[in-house]
Structure 1
Amino acid sequence: MKSAPISTLLKRRSIPVWCLKWIVLAFILSFNSCDPFPAKDINHQARVDSLLDRADHLNTIQNTNRAKLFLDSAYARFPEAGILDRYRKYQRLLTYYSDRNNTINLVIAEQYIDSLFLLFDREGIKNKYRAEYALAHLNRGDHMQFRKNYDEAYSYYFRGKILIDPIDKCKRNPYTARVASMTYEQKNYAKAAGYYKQAYQEAMECPEGDSFDNLFVNRQGYLSNVAQCYSLLNRLDSAVYFYDLALQFIQQNEAKFPTKQNFIEQARGVIYGNQGAVYRKMRDYKRAIPVLQESIRINSQKNRYNFDAQFSQATLSRVYLEDNQMGKARSEMEKLQASLDTLSNDEALLRLYSVEWQFWDKLNQPGKSLSFLKKYLKLKEVVDRNSRNFDKMDQVLLKLENEHNTELLLKKEELNRLYLLATIAISLLALTIAFLIWLSWKRTRRNLLKLADLNRQIIGRNTQLQTTLTILEKSHQENARLLKVVAHDLRTPVGSISMAADLLMEGELKVRKPEFFLSMIKTSSADALDLIDNLLHSNTLPDKKERVELREFLTSCVDVLQLKAETKKQSIDLKTDAIDVFIDRQKMWRVIANLLTNAIKFSPPGSTITIRTKKSADRVRLMIKDEGIGIPAELKDKVFSPYSEAKRTGTSGEKTFGLGLSISRQIIEAHDGKLWFESQENQGTTFYIEFPVH
């Protein structure tokens, strides 16, 4: 029976694979000597620059394996290479194999990350090359993030940021950008956009003499990533804004980097393609077509980002299709198919099939449409399956780990032949050190778990505080609303008292007796006190229903407001039959007072306000009609809202608070009735109240 891979057995015992790798690497380190690198750590920048340039050229014109073989061979003849020389080699190879669509490449990349950490096995080396050591943490975090081990990834990003912060604050931005990338992968696009904006601000702190990556690549990339987040959130105007910012940044800074024009053009082409996709979502085909064409022109050239050109071709085909330019859509699909025949791209092919079946469906050719739909679904299944297919990862990992460890052993043997006699003793020492490291790791993990638990408690407390603050805010808003209601409803009785007092003082005794004014003051004062008492219990539900004679009730309401109408030379025409109703007198008085006050307020001087009633078998309908300015059509749906924007000034400049009709409707509905109106602008308004008699 075939035995299981070592890494699989380790997983069954809950011991992390990476722990074993550290033990093996420590063993290799101690196997050969106390110092696996030259006694004098001297780096050779010019020589390494030349080697890396040659490797880059081979990677471009041939393939990654050819570039790797060249570097391995060159460094085999370069035993005096310093730590930074070796670091640069591993970093460059890491970039060659950082292909997330290739499982083999990813495992090889992990081996080079291990090699980077092996370089910094001593404290003195870590301090001397602190920036490079921090970057190694960034590489490890990237790998952990792709494996969706987000806790470990964040841990490495955090440690790396701590290492780089005292040295160069401007280089914090790659670590913030990685957190943004993690958030993006979790589809939290709004939060990711915020992190990318923060990374951009950090990158802008870098001095003018910094690297091309910090001065150009990262900055335009962060702006473009913010736009992509907004595109996925369907905040399309924001996406267009940030794509424009990225293009403006490129235009303003490209002249500073004359040797990087190829990369700059590719970046511009990618942004054009993404921008065209946003315009397509907006159905702005006039702007989408030229930017997509420019994206294709740029990145379809040799030694450019041809995959992106294929994506733009697929998008342009869809634009032509949606814009009913069928001939151009057909032509663009044929060009894309020709490109795919020479450069395979499953994602672009999937998009092509999607456009094809919709194209033929639009031409009413169901046979061809169904054929491409089947191809689309079949390829989509394969693409989805490949994106999750890591079933054989353990076997590949074991094989490549053995190959890489063998390579390291051979190189160590070449450099340390003089120390073979001390192998056994040093090996035992290395195993002891590895065991102590393992114990230390266990203690560290326990501490991290305690910190995580404490963090959860803090988050819980913060959540409770936030909830309490929300409740207090709602309470504050409710209190403010209640104050507005009190102020609004007290205006009528207090206004009547004030008006009666003014008329008494102005000598109106010749027209009416003092008892009339005193009776009005007494009635209004009682109404105000009842209203205050009612509002202190703060509800609009009827709680003191009693039998009320409607004609007498309406007459008392009219008497209170008659003086206000007379100040505008208005008359109130009340005609009603004697009808007994069962209502809460105080609350219904608030309704009638609100409606009459509004009629007076919005009617011109000299007009008449009409009040009529009509009784059916078990219900009574009350009509209050004015000859005022009416209610415009655009405000009719808003007048009953408690926070209505439908606030207009009266015909004599009276202020409006926008609460009366909302309160009135609540009271009428609490009486099992209904309140509505009919109105035409500048022709008056009629309000109707209907409620049960009993």
Structure 2
Amino acid sequence: MPLCLYPANSIKWGCLCLLLTCVLFLSACKQVSTKNSNHPALADSIIDKVNTLLNTGQQERSVIYLDSAYRVFPNPGIADLWKKYNQKANYYLYYDKNLVKEKLYADSMLSILKGKESQYKKEYAGAIFAKGDVLMVEKKYAEAFKCYYDGKLFAQKNLDSCSYCQITYQLGMVRYKQGNYLRAIPYFKQAFAENSHCKADAGFSNLFIYPQSHLNTIALCFEQAGVPDSAVYYYKRALAFIDRNAGRFPEKKQFAEMARAVVYGNLGGAYALMNNYTEAGKYLQESIHINNRPGYAIEDAQTAQLKLAGLYIQSSRFIAADSLLGQIEHDLLAGRGKSQSNADNRLKWKKLKWNYYDKTHEVVQAYQYVQQYDSMRDSLDEVSKGLKIADIDQGFKNIEQQYRLTLLSKNDQLKTTYLVAIIVFAVMTIIILLLVWYNLKRYRNSVNELTKLNQKISEYNTQMQKTLTALEQSQEENTRMMKMVAHDLRNPVGAMMTVATMMLDNKHGPGDDRTMLELIKTSGKNSLNLIDDLLQIHTRLEELKMEPVDMFTLLHYCVELLHFKAEAKGQQILLTADHLTISVNREKMWRVISNLIANAIKFSPSGAVVSVLMIGKEDSVLITIEDHGIGIPIEMRDKIFDMFTEAKRPGTAGEQPFGMGLAISKQIVEAHGGHIWFESKQNNGTFFYVELPLNN
């Protein structure tokens, strides 16, 4: 979308307008919040170079340069790509006249901004207008006006007046292209007023380019409408603005010169309409002198040359007119300064050639050029035929009316929905009130029964609480008594084992007595093991005395104590562990490990290997005891950790089980904040796992 486009019939300043567009995008990048991936300085330098090539008449080279520069662009951001697509859309709209490519890049501008409209507000408004420009070329005026209307609403809601001024300017340009010059003037005046709100740091575009172009375009409207005195007034205002503000931007001196030359040319045309040929010639020649150079607005210089040639013909200076028309013809054929105004300049040139030959009474040549002129004019009129009869103001009113009708329809639907909701709510309220009344009646009838029931429940709860307390006290007393009895039994049973051992050490005793003594020793040992298990029942965390223990040393000690028991069955115990220190109760944890290893020995066949493995994890220690024994049957697996369980079996050598070792081990491990579990396959061995926290 050209944010600063001068009227094609009089300004002839297409390349310069693209430069204005680029400067606008630079200021937009300052106002729009961009991500780190955008590179505004690099993107703007590329666009400036492209416009320089356009200004010097190198249109094809400008496109090649733009593509090449972006091909090596380091990760271009959304705003960077938008500038490229906007430049391409303008090129194919005003220079190459390729509708397919223009539409492609206009759609691309909207595509990359999808979902990011609130972040790139100014770019999004420009993209909507670019889409409207495409629809205008396609002669879909109703759709184009809708795009312009949507863009206008979006800009009014999201942009400040300084940023919004070029949107207003663009709407005025639609009126100008239709030839409704006087109806276009209010738009340009409004744009100038909106631009006056720009702050001192708003940039070169907002502070210089746009205001002088607004004044210049207002003057052009008066000139085209046949009011040359008002045109001269606004042209002089534009020159005064340029003279007053050019010094603020010394680095833009060349642009200021081009802008001044453009106004000179237009002012010369206005003086010509007032028959002030002296002033007209002076300003036209000065305009040509400045802009008819590489890097300047050459196409505008051609417009001034055409106006000057017209003066020469009117004043019968035919030799000067013929020479100037020949120079213009050469430039047009060579494509020098080709822009969106090129076709209009060709049409004017043909009309001047017709006038020249008519004035010099060369009828045949005059007839040839009048035919060429009429044919080309008809062709151009056909292109803009629909545009001239389209009414953008009425289009906006129709769109606004449609929006209002849609809004009214939605309001009616909403009101209908509210009415239905109110009716449903009223019915539900009545139903609820009836249900409340019915339930209240039932409640009153039931309240006494509920009160009695609550009293009974309260009595039952009190009785149950007393019973539970008594059971807990009884369990504690039973446990205390059992531990006292077990502790008192250790001494006599231990003494019995000691006497039996001493008598067995006497090798001269009778053989029958030795057999009885062995039975007494074995029974005493089993009794001590049972007593030890009873003393470990109901281990609690508060009863544990924790201390730092090297688990490798503890495991090694357990293995060494049970080494002889394993050798008696021809078994081997393998220990694999590192030195890891954790806080445990040494005696309790020794009993857990010893119990698990003893079980592995008990239920493994002769010659088997029992493996003990310890590994350190991130926040725990995992101990694994693996045997290759008879395994645990499926029907016993849910019971082996129960106290006084019936899941008891004799060992592979007939060892006597008590059924409390695993239950006690589970209590000890859980009192340490750990976890114990197993994995087993019948007749294929068992894995017991003990996991203890590192920080206990």
TM-score bin (small chain): 0.3 to 0.5
- The structure number with the bigger radius of gyration is 2
TM (normalized to structure 1)?
A: 0.46
